[in-house]
Amino acid sequence: MSAAASSSQSRPAGLVMSSRNATVQGNNRGNNGAAGGSNKKMVIRPFKVQPKLPENFEDATWEVLRQAVVAVQSKTAVAISYEELYRAVENLCVHKMGARLYERLRMECARHVAAVVGSLASGGVEGLMDPALFLAKVDDVWQDHCEHMLTIRNIFLYMDRSFVMQTSALQPIWEMGLTLFRLELAAQGRGLQRPGAAGGVQAAAAGAGEGGVAGNTGLDIKIVKGMLRVMERQRNGEAVNLALLRSLVRMLGSLGLYKPLFLRAFLEDTERYFAVEGTKKMESLDVVAFLLHVERRLGEAEESVVHYLEPGTRKALITAVESRLLAPHVTALIDKGLTPLMDAQRVEDVRRLYQLACRKPGGAEELKAAFNAYIRRRGGELVGDDAREKEMIEDLLAFKNKCDVILSEALGGRSNPACLAAMKDGFEFALNVRPSRPAELLAKFLDAKLKGEKGVSEGEMEGLLDRVMVLFRYVGSKDVFEAFYKKDLAKRLLLGRSASADLERSMVAKLKAECGATFTNKFEGMFKDMDLSRELMGNYAQFLGTTAAGEKAGGREGGREGGREVETSVHVLTTGYWPAYPSSDVVVPPVLEPHMARFSAYYTGKYQGRRLLWQHSLGTCVIKARFPLGTKELSVSFFQAIVLLCFNDGESPRVAFTDIKAATRIEDGELRRTLQSLACGKINQRVLQKEPKGKDVEDNDVFSLNAGFTHKLYRIKINTIQLKETVEENDKTHAEVHRDRQYQIDAAIVRIMKARKKLSHNLLLSELFGQLKFSVVPVDVKRRLESLIERDYLCRDDINPSVYNYVA
């Protein structure tokens, strides 16, 4: 063996040994280094007798290699250099001894693996050894095995890269080591055939591939059980060695056992653990605490993938946690938690509930339905609470704002169309629990706001109007809103109670954008009348100025009466735009009659064919009153002015109620309220005195001018006592709306039938509901259909009574 190795190693590089003669040509140099002489040829002849290997060459060489392998496995010094060992492997392979060398190496490695793995079999989770200590011992054996196999592979690298690569049936040395280790782990405790025996590799591989955790006692199963035990400790809050788990997971991955053996057992154990924990936590924790616990567990699962599990495990692990810890309890969490969280406006917790609910298939739909039910329930309670009708709109605006905040910050906002639709449906249902009342109160709320509030800027009012418009969109009885808004708008315009004309027009513009020009036609007509009235009064003032010089009679000069200037301002209203006001046959004071007559003559002369009807109930006056303590200007209503002028005669300082009633002919209830405002109001506004004293005005009461009246201001506004709208007045407004609805239903039916000529009852209802801007019940439609049939607009089909024909 030594001679052969020496012969091989002493072979000059670049020379090729052959049985043929070899000729080498070159220049010879003399001793002095100068070129000279002629070319010479050197011929190397082959051996006459071929050299033979020693009889024990293979065995002797293997023995040297075996001792080196044993030294590596026992962590002792190798007696021969790695270069000589490498050349020895090369010589065996060159002389076609690679197959036996590979098998001998495999058997030697199998022997060692069986020994070191066998030393682990006495420990494990079923034994007395702690799982963490057992796993640490396994990791030590594994790390030693990897280190040994890397060194052995380097020694046998020539065989690994030549003979093994050329033989497809053989595994590379590193993979062979992994297979031996894996099969030995599977064989220990199972009674399987050892991988050192013939055919053992295939048999043991089949056994390892089929095994599971349940009912198996192999060492690989013990390792998996130990890892699961340590991971459970980590879930219970104990400190564990994550580096050890990471190393063992990589070991299982290298051995091909991660998915078939560990992953299935790990996921089953995870599901079992969190199923039990989910039930316990639901019983002991409130909703928010449970959600925080689930978030923490999901975060721990993510961290476990980062720290020691394979990245591909993430999806399956998160699914296992969600399916056992969260999904079974989503419905209960929504039922128990959404209402209190919404009531308290806990945005972060609602967001947490929503995000976790979305992890369950169908969970987002459940939360959307609960969100809709919550809005319906809470909104319906606000609308149906008779005791808080005055605060209904304020409460609804606050509730809508809360829902908007929850939607935008917790439920995804506009990126979540399902919850947007749920909120819209919920508010539409809530605001129509009482079909007409919210519309009426919405109009009255706007009336109060548009009259002005202290400390509120126009920008803030614009924002409020926008929020009100959102509620208005949900109201079905928009015609009821129109009726009440028109009545209140008329009072604001005529009595000068609007805080801002721009805000008034802005609100009408918003209504027009929402409902169309037809809806706001009368509102815009009111503004137009006010503008035309201002223009008309400007022209009238010019007319008075040009004719003042020629009008002198009885001490009157132009617009003066007895040296007192009387300024007159008249609003001319178009009957079709404004609410219908009852006519009042009051006695107009003589001081005002000439001015009213002059304006009537001017107007009818300018606009021939038109007729003026004076509405005294909406008039206002500024009168000058001379009290013993000083002269004041009083801003009063027309009725208050008529009453005060009854005390203009110094000869009758005391006037009875019956005398005032006869002199003014004001309606009884209106007169009593007028006298209350003058004699029973605030102390600094009592320009009259009543005998006997009291808050109510009786038939026997007597009134006199308050000689002690004083006020720090020169001009004083005497407030009127507003008569609260009675049930009868509201019913009257609603009756007008109902009557208008009948006309609209009739017109819509005739319009549809005229275009279609023939329609079934159901199709007619479908088209009718699409055209009407208010909600209507089929019973009302049936009545209108019967009325139209009686008036010969429609007739029933002779063959099918549920079909209507249009009568031309």
Tell me the residue type at 463: G
- Facing residues of 709 across strands? none
Q: Percent helix, strand and coil across the chain, each rounded to 5?
A: 60, 5, 30
Res 554: pLDDT? 44
Query: Is pLDDT of 10 > 60?
Result: no
Q: What angle do CA 236, 237, 241 make, to 5 degrees?
A: 105
The bridge status of strand 552-553 relative to strand 803-806 is unpaired
Percentage of the chain surpassing pLDDT 70? Answer: 86
Strand 40-44 with 22-26, pairing? antiparallel
Are 654 and 733 within one domain?
Answer: no
Which domain-ending residue is among 294, 326, 358? Answer: 326
Burial of 71 (0-12, 13-18, 19+ CB in 10 A): middle
pLDDT number for residue 292: 97
pLDDT at 563: 42
Query: What pLDDT shows up at residue 722?
Result: 66
Q: What is the mean pLDDT of residues 347-366?
A: 95
| CATH code: domain of residue 647 | 3.30.230.130
Which DSSP state fits 555?
Answer: T
Q: Is the pLDDT of residue 212 over 60?
A: no
pLDDT-derived band of residue 195, with 50, 70 and 90 as boundaries? low
Could you write out the three-class secondary structure of 740-802? HHHHHHHHHHHHHHHHHCEEEHHHHHHHHHHHCCCCCCHHHHHHHHHHHHHCCCEEECCCCCC
Does 22 score more than 80 pLDDT? Answer: no
Kindly report the number of other CB atoms within 10 A of residue 557's CB atom.
15
* pLDDT confidence tier of residue 9, bands split at 50, 70 and 90: very low
Q: How many domains in the chain?
A: 5
Q: Can you tell me which residue has the tokens 């006001």?
A: 581
Q: CA–CA separation, 592 vs 285, rounded Å? A: 80
Same domain, 65 and 172: yes
The answer on 171 and 131 residing in a single domain is yes
> Is the confidence at residue 197, as pLDDT, over 70?
no
Alpha-carbon gap, residue 296 to 119, rounded angstroms: 40
Q: Is there a domain that residue 46 lies in?
A: no
> Could you tell me which of 740, 727, 731 has the C-alpha nearest to residue 780?
740
Residue 650 falls inside a structural domain: yes
Neighbouring C-beta atoms of residue 201, cutoff 10 Å: 19
Q: Examine the pLDDT at 562 and tell me if it is beyond 90.
A: no
The pLDDT, as a whole number, for residue 723 is 57
pLDDT recorded at residue 217: 67
pLDDT of residue 299: 96
Question: What is the structure's pLDDT at 477?
Answer: 86
Q: Is the pLDDT of residue 474 over 60?
A: yes
Chain mean pLDDT for the chain = 85
Q: What is the CATH number of the domain that holds 734?
A: 1.10.10.10
| Percent of the chain whose pLDDT exceeds 90 | 48
Residues 69 and 171 in one domain: yes
Q: Are 63 and 176 contained in the same domain?
A: yes
| Domain C-terminal end among 513, 530, 547 | 547
Whether residue 776 sits in one domain with residue 657 = no
Nearest alpha carbon to residue 489 among 443, 441, 437 = 443
Contact 433, 383 (CB under 8 A): yes
The average pLDDT across 681-693 equals 86
User: What per-residue confidence (pLDDT) applies to 21?
Assistant: 40
What mean pLDDT do residues 365-381 have? 96
DSSP summary character for residue 695: S
Rounded CA-CA distance 639/673 in Å is 10
End position of a domain, from candidates 277, 296, 326: 326
Phi first, then psi: give them for residue 474, nearest 5 degrees: -80, -15
Structure tokens at 115: 């020994």
Average pLDDT of the segment spanning 207-216: 43
In terms of domains, do 529 and 645 share one? no
Question: Is residue 708 a part of any domain in this protein?
Answer: yes
Q: If you average pLDDT over each of 8-12, 53-57, 264-268, 573-577, which comes out highest?
A: 264-268
> Is there a domain that residue 739 lies in?
yes
> Do residue 143 and residue 63 come from a single domain?
yes
In a domain, 23, yes or no: no
Q: What is the DSSP string of 262-319?
A: IIHHHHHHHHHHHHHHHHHHHHHS-HHHHHHHHHHHHHHHHHHHHHTS-GGGHHHHHH
Residue 601 lies inside a defined structural domain of this protein: no
Residue 96 and residue 144 in one domain: yes
Question: Is residue 582 domain-resident?
Answer: no
| Joined tokens for residue 172 | 């590379």
Of the candidates 264, 225, 228, 216, which has an alpha carbon nearest to the alpha carbon of residue 125?
225
Residue 203 confidence (pLDDT) above 80: no
Q: What is the pLDDT of residues 282-335, one digit of tens each?
A: 999 999 999 999 999 999 999 999 999 999 999 999 999 999 999 999 999 999
Taking the C-alpha atoms of residue 183 and residue 201, their distance in angstroms, rounded to an integer, is 7
Greater confidence, 347 or 784? 347
* Euclidean distance between CA atoms 782 and 150, whole angstroms: 94
For CA atoms 473, 477, 479, 480, give the dihedral sign: negative
The pLDDT, as a whole number, for residue 31 is 46
Residue 136, pLDDT score: 95
* Residue 465 structure tokens: 């109007």
664, 648 Cβ separation under 8 angstroms: no
Least confident of 224-238, 652-666, 726-740, 770-784: 726-740
Domain assignment of residue 751, given as a range: 728-806
> How far is 304 from 298, CA to CA, in rounded Å?
10
Tell me the CATH number at 536. Answer: 1.20.1310.10
pLDDT of amino acid 726: 54
Instruction: Report the first-to-last Cα separation within the chain, whole angstroms.
Output: 126
Whether residue 668 is found in the same domain as residue 745: no
Q: Is 141 a residue whose pLDDT tops 90?
A: yes
Does position 780 have pLDDT exceeding 90, yes or no?
A: no
Predicted model pTM: 0.76
Residue 205: is it exposed, middle or buried by C-beta count within 10 angstroms (0-12/13-18/19+)?
Answer: middle
Please state the rounded mean pLDDT for residues 670-692: 87
Is the predicted pLDDT of residue 208 greater than 70, yes or no?
no
| Residue 691 belongs to a domain | yes
Residue 189 pLDDT class (50, 70, 90 cuts): low
Tell me the HSE value of 527 on the side-chain side, using a 13 A CA sphere: 15
Q: pLDDT at position 552, please? A: 52
Give CA–CA dist 621/787, Å, rounded: 50
- Report pLDDT for 445: 94
Output 9 or 142, whichever has higher pLDDT: 142
User: 746 and 699 in one domain?
Assistant: no
Same domain assignment for residues 130 and 61: yes
pLDDT in tens, 66-113: 999 999 999 999 989 999 999 999 999 999 999 999 999 999 999 999
Distance CA 262, CA 789 (A): 81
Query: Rounded distance, CA 631 to CA 622, Å?
Result: 13
